[in-house]
């Protein structure tokens, strides 16, 4: 029987199935990257909800696993060398799960680095910039009179969408085949347009290639399931 009792997080969120990968998350654009990935690769897992309403992400139990107090985080009872592996940062988790499962990250070195390039592009650019549009347009910052911060992030987000749009011309997905780069990027595009209500502000209708690939992404059954986890 797998024993995860050495990890304080399992006292706040007990594992019913300690032999399965434990996911601590919420269906936010960073959270769903990991639930979508787990659904795509078909690995057994147990999802735990980290409620922001209760500030669960600031609890000592959560921080004992995720030092930066952000979701998503995982605890894999069967990590490298058969030992439990705790991990936070969605990009690192996607890469880990791709390597563990042998799926959604090419074995071909050139294609593999191209995939990681776009994964980093999401982590360093799309996530932080789209997130700031969310703050200044949809969340608390929408009431600020001075619109210059909002406009700065809107302009940068438009620029990033332009980069995606040009790259996607003539391509089905970000790299040759569907990969962790798509799983990182498209939940954020969806969030910008649907949750942050920024379709018009961002001029989304001009980005036809991004629209096409977003629609294909959202049609995938694993994506549809992953977007709702944890319930």
30 lines the binding site for ligand GSH (CB under 6 A): yes
**Beta pairing, strands 73-76 & 21-25:** antiparallel
DSSP string covering 58-104, please? GSHHHHTT-TT--S-EEEETT-GGG--EEEESHHHHHHHHHHHHT-S
28 lines the binding site for ligand GSH (CB under 6 A): yes
Which of residues 52 and 113 has its CB atom nearest to ligand GSH in the complex?
Answer: 52
22 lines the binding site for ligand GSH (CB under 6 A): no
132 lines the binding site for ligand GSH (CB under 6 A): no
70 lines the binding site for ligand GSH (CB under 6 A): yes
Only one residue has tokens 């399931």, namely 225
In the set 8, 12, 89, 152, which binds ligand GSH (CB under 6 A)? Answer: 89
First vs last C-alpha separation in the chain: 27
Give me the helix-helix angle, 148-168 and 180-190, nearest 10°: 140
**The residue count for the chain:** 231
Cβ–Cβ < 8 Å for 179, 106: yes
**With 0-12 CB in 10 A as exposed, 13-18 as middle and 19+ as buried, what is 95?**
buried
Which of residues 90 and 179 has its CB atom nearest to ligand GSH in the complex?
Answer: 90
35 lines the binding site for ligand GSH (CB under 6 A): no
25 lines the binding site for ligand GSH (CB under 6 A): no
Min CB(69)–ligand GSH separation in Å: 6
In the set 10, 22, 35, 57, which binds ligand GSH (CB under 6 A)? Answer: 57
90 lines the binding site for ligand GSH (CB under 6 A): yes
95 lines the binding site for ligand GSH (CB under 6 A): no
**Beta pairing, strands 85-88 & 45-49:** unpaired
Total of chain residues touching ligand GSH, rule CB under 6 A: 12
The residues that touch ligand GSH, with contacts defined as CB under 6 A, are 28-30, 52, 57, 69-72, 89-91
């Amino acid at each position: 029987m797998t024993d995860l009792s050495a990890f304080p997080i399992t006292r706040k969120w007990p594992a019913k199935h300690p032999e399965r990968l434990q996911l601590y998350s919420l269906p936010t654009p960073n959270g769903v990257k990991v639930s979508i990935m787990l659904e795509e690769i078909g690995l057994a897992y147990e999802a735990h909800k980290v409620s922001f309403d209760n500030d669960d992400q600031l609890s000592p139990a959560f921080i004992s696993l995720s030092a930066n107090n952000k979701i998503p985080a995982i605890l894999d009872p069967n990590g490298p060398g058969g030992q439990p592996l705790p991990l936070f940062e969605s990009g690192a988790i996607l890469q880990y799960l791709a390597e563990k499962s042998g799926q959604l990250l090419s074995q071909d070195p050139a294609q593999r680095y191209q995939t990681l390039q776009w994964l980093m592009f999401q982590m360093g650019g799309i996530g932080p910039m789209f997130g700031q549009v969310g703050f200044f347009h949809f969340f608390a910052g929408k009431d600020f009179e001075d619109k210059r911060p909002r406009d700065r992030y809107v302009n940068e987000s438009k620029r990033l969408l332009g980069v995606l749009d040009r790259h996607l011309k003539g391509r089905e997905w970000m790299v040759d085949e569907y990969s962790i780069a798509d799983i990182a990027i498209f939940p954020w595009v969806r969030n910008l347009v649907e949750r942050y209500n920024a379709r018009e502000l961002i001029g989304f209708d001009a980005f036809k290639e991004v629209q096409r690939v977003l629609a294909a992404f959202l049609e995938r059954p694993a994506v549809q399931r992953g977007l709702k986890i944890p319930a």
